[in-house]
Amino acid sequence: MAASEEEWAEVYVQPGESHLVRGPAILRTLLGSCVGVTFWHRGLSIAALCHPMLPSHPHKTKGKLSLAAARRYVDFAIRDLAAQFDALGARRRDVEIKLFGGADVLRVEEHKSRPTVGRLNRERALEVLRAEGFAVAASRLGGPCGIHIDFYTATGEVRLRLLQ
């Protein structure tokens, strides 16, 4: 008998963290300019959520950053979870990806021509996902306000709440 939703583990994924689970859980996070990427494989009952804060890993520091510090970067966090799913036997075409966040929550009046952190994060996420062979099944990107997400790993469902 499957565990009821009330019995599922609940994990709050902080900025700069990634969390992979086997079986039912609810992975939650709050996103502004950061992006949240959900990975879900129905057949293997594995799922993950990463919450990177900055677009690109500074390659000149390679080997100098801890794994936890490197997961703050969109490109590293996505590739790290992709490698974990590969190691667990998941084929990338069978992994459902959903992408959220990258909002422009901070007003930038003086330099309108400069891209915001939110824009850089969402563009980098789409670029890396495409390069890694993942298709995005659903997304909610950009906008002026943050969102709270609840990722139900038993079903792959993601519920959103806009922050005002």
CATH number, domain containing residue 158: 3.30.1330.200
Answer whether residue 5 is part of any domain: no
**What's the CA angle centered on 158, arms 29 and 164, to 5 degrees?**
55
Q: What is the largest CA-CA distance in the chain?
A: 58
71 CB-near residues (< 8 Å, 6+ apart) = 16, 17, 18, 50, 52, 77, 80
Q: How far is CA 107 from the centre of its chain?
A: 23
The pLDDT tens digits of the residues spanning 119-161 come to 999 999 999 999 999 999 999 999 999 999 999 999 999 999 9
Q: Containing domain of residue 153, as a range?
A: 13-162
Q: How many domains does the chain have?
A: 1
The answer to the question of residue 3 being in a domain is no
pLDDT of 153 reads 97
- Percent of the chain predicted with pLDDT > 90: 78
pLDDT at 44: 97
Report the pLDDT value the prediction gives residue 1, as an integer from 0 to 100.
41
Q: Distances in Å between the alpha carbon of 72 and those of 4, 16, 44?
A: 33, 4, 26
The stretches in the chain having pLDDT less than 50 are 1
- Contact at 8 Å (CB) between 79 and 124? no
